[in-house]
Chain A
Amino acid sequence: MSGIGIVAAQRAHFAQPLALKGGSVLPAFDLVYETYGTLNAARSNAILVCHALSGHHHVAGHTADNPNNVGWWDNIVGPGRPLDTDRFFIVGVNNLGGCHGSTGPASDNPATGKPWGADFPVVTVEDWVASQARLADHLGIDAWAAVMGGSLGGMQALQWTLSFPERIRHALVIAAAPKLSAENIAFNDVARQAILTDPDFHGGHFYEHGVRPLRGLRLARMLGHITYLSDDQMAEKFGRRLRTGAGSYGFDVEFEIESYLHYQGDKFAGVFDANTYLRMTKALDYFDPAQDYDGDLALAMKRARAKFFIAAFTTDWRFTPARSREIVHALVHNNQDVAYAEIACDHGHDSFLIDEPYYHSLVAAYLRRVVL
């Protein structure tokens, strides 16, 4: 059950061109977003929630047409919840290049009148933050009380402190990393190759062929999903259990874990856009705020003015606690404000979405101190 009840998406159109980090210019774009709670008169109580790879603007509440369509981070947003809608004005946005309503590869390219497809530019975390700043302008928000996100969403919160130091007072960076490791990029590459080599991909222009690269997208999601869970959790949840009593010595779905992954892959491929998936993983790969500072993260973080809350999860092997500590130590080096928690939770990288009492108590305690 959602805490805030029925919510509805809104759409904002931005007619000013947006120059992207990759060199191209998006002539105009739309962002789809949801808001919860009320913006106060001083416009000082707004929190932006950034989504990760497969997320979107529907963060909390449920849609009018479907009470089961509950937002992806509903457990943390609502009256009395850590992101307390009685106190804060919460904004969820679908990122540029997404596939849930904001301008993306499936949108029509104004130059051709056909879907962008492969021609939609590769967008970066910096580009997302720049576009989110336009949304803040649109909503009349000079500075966010906080920007919060998990995983790729956490990277956006971090980037906010660098792109717009004066427009963010607190960054809550959960289960994130200051940049991907080679292993992280390797996983993303395998996921991309699954999509790129699917015969139905058609170089990214599959829309006009009336097909979708479902097999590739499904494989990409299955691979990703493995990396979001922990070994212990998988052992506990599935073990080596078979769907039927005995093995058939063939290649049908036999183990419960296979069944689960296939289900997750199918479900995801049914609703997600392959071109968006490619771009989300590229945004992850490219993120590296220290790149322009000879890899010196502390130097890169120096211009941040925000206070930080950083959390990592002990079983997260995709973005280990050591990766979060890199950010913490850069901030300590600079004498910047940071609180860091290392949370025992057995859900791997996906722990950031779990209603774990210690974790949620920390977020609530941190946000209660945010001055409005």
Chain B
Amino acid sequence: MTHNNERADFDVIAGWVQPGERVLDLGCGDGSLLGRLIGERGARGYGVELEDAAVLAAVTKGINVIQGNIEQGLAGFDDGTFDHVVLSRTLQTVRHTENLLREMLRVGREAVVSFPNFAYWKNRMAVMSGRMPVSEDLPYEWFDTPNLRFFTILDFEALCEKMGLAIRERQVLDDAGQLVAEEQNFLGSLAVYRLGRPG
């Protein structure tokens, strides 16, 4: 998958990671984000990835990649091991949504989650015109998409409230990767959150 703003949320995430902090990147792919957090931010990090080709690419880059399926939870990772547990553009592909969010905040102090906003105005337009949206942040056709769940910024925040998760920060980007300040559920194509534990 290549599209122009693939790293737009990486900029936001990189800004939230401090030197020396420990990061776990779930669904780390070829390790691009981790490579950046390590190289630019001086972080220490591990990635979890399921696909062989991506694991090989990450090993080739010298990333600490652990092959495994995040759907099965994060068993084996100790409580509170990480400063940040990142899930970049992956939540919409996950089946056990609540369990994974809970697991992220078990092993990490903070969960960093980015996802495509289905209520982005271009997506709404596509549905209004009778077609499922295909965009920078939803780059698949309905028949080949890995995405299992289609949800909006409002939907996600409702889930956070139900689960008692603390939303510490929200950044929303349009499909050009520009920050959106107002009417975010309408003008935002990609949302990036920092979440804390309940209480």
Determine, out of A32-40, A69-77, A327-335, the stretch whose residues face the partner at the interface.
Answer: A327-335
B67–A342 contact, CB under 8 A? yes
Given A329-B78, A333-B78, A333-B81, is A339 in contact with B65 using a C-beta cutoff of 8 Å?
Answer: yes
A338 and B81 alpha carbons, distance in the complex (Å) = 15
A339–B56 contact, CB under 8 A? no
Q: Which residues of B contact A358 (CB under 8 A)?
A: 52, 56
A339–B63 contact, CB under 8 A? yes
Number of B positions contacting A (CB below 8 A): 20
Select which of A335, A337, A341 is within 8 A of B67 by beta carbon. A341
Q: Which residues of B contact A369 (CB under 8 A)?
A: 60, 62
Q: Mark B53-67, 1 if CB is under 8 A from A, else 0.
A: 001101110111111
Q: Is residue A10 within 8 Å, beta carbon to beta carbon, of the partner chain?
A: no
Q: Which residues of B contact A164 (CB under 8 A)?
A: none
Residue of B nearest to A363 (CB): B59
- How many contacts between A and B, using CB within 8 angstroms? 50
A366 and B67 alpha carbons, distance in the complex (Å) = 14
Q: Which residues of A contact B76 (CB under 8 A)?
A: 325-326, 328-329
Q: Which residues of B contact A335 (CB under 8 A)?
A: 22, 44
Q: Is residue A361 within 8 Å, beta carbon to beta carbon, of the partner chain?
A: yes
| Docked complex: B31-64 residues within 8 A CB-CB of A | 44, 46, 52, 55-56, 58-60, 62-64
B66–A339 contact, CB under 8 A? yes
Q: Is residue B73 within 8 Å, beta carbon to beta carbon, of the partner chain?
A: no
Given A329-B76, A329-B78, A332-B81, is A337 in contact with B64 using a C-beta cutoff of 8 Å?
Answer: yes
Q: Mark A330-365, 1 if CB is under 8 A from B, else 0.
A: 001101011111101000000000000010011001
Number of A positions contacting B (CB below 8 A): 22
Q: Mark A274-292, 1 if CB is under 8 A from B, else 0.
A: 0000000000000000000
Least Cβ distance of B134 to chain A in Å? 32
A365–B22 contact, CB under 8 A? no
Given A340-B65, A340-B67, A342-B67, is A332 in contact with B56 using a C-beta cutoff of 8 Å?
Answer: no
A342–B68 contact, CB under 8 A? yes
A325 and B72 alpha carbons, distance in the complex (Å) = 14
Residue of B nearest to A369 (CB): B62
A333 and B62 alpha carbons, distance in the complex (Å) = 19
B64–A361 contact, CB under 8 A? no
Q: Is residue B16 within 8 Å, beta carbon to beta carbon, of the partner chain?
A: no
Q: Is residue B142 within 8 Å, beta carbon to beta carbon, of the partner chain?
A: no
Q: Is residue B77 within 8 Å, beta carbon to beta carbon, of the partner chain?
A: yes
Q: Which residues of B contact A368 (CB under 8 A)?
A: 60
Residue of B nearest to A329 (CB): B76
Q: Which residues of B contact A341 (CB under 8 A)?
A: 55, 59, 67
Q: Which residues of A contact B58 (CB under 8 A)?
A: 339
| Docked complex: A85-143 residues within 8 A CB-CB of B | none
Residue of A nearest to B78 (CB): A333
A333 and B78 alpha carbons, distance in the complex (Å) = 7
Residue of A nearest to B107 (CB): A332
Q: Which residues of B contact A365 (CB under 8 A)?
A: 56, 59-60
Select which of A332, A344, A361 is within 8 A of B46 by beta carbon. A332
Given A335-B44, A365-B60, is A328 in contact with B55 using a C-beta cutoff of 8 Å?
Answer: no
Least Cβ distance of A163 to chain B in Å? 24
Residue of A nearest to B22 (CB): A335
Q: Which residues of A contact B77 (CB under 8 A)?
A: 329, 332
Least Cβ distance of A89 to chain B in Å? 22
B64–A339 contact, CB under 8 A? yes
Q: Which residues of B contact A344 (CB under 8 A)?
A: 52
Least Cβ distance of A295 to chain B in Å? 15
Give me the 7 closest cross-chain CB pairs, A-B, nearest first.
A329-B76, A365-B60, A340-B66, A342-B67, A365-B59, A341-B67, A369-B62
A and B contact pairs by CB, cutoff 8 A, 29 listed? A325-B76, A328-B76, A332-B46, A332-B66, A332-B81, A333-B78, A335-B44, A337-B64, A338-B64, A338-B66, A339-B58, A339-B59, A339-B64, A339-B65, A339-B66, A340-B65, A340-B66, A340-B68, A341-B55, A341-B67, A342-B67, A358-B52, A358-B56, A362-B55, A365-B56, A365-B60, A366-B59, A368-B60, A369-B60
Please give 20 more A-B residue pairs, beta carbons under 8 A apart, in addition to A341-B55, A366-B59: A309-B59, A325-B76, A328-B76, A329-B76, A329-B77, A332-B46, A332-B66, A335-B22, A337-B64, A339-B59, A339-B64, A340-B67, A342-B67, A358-B52, A358-B56, A362-B59, A365-B56, A365-B59, A365-B60, A368-B60
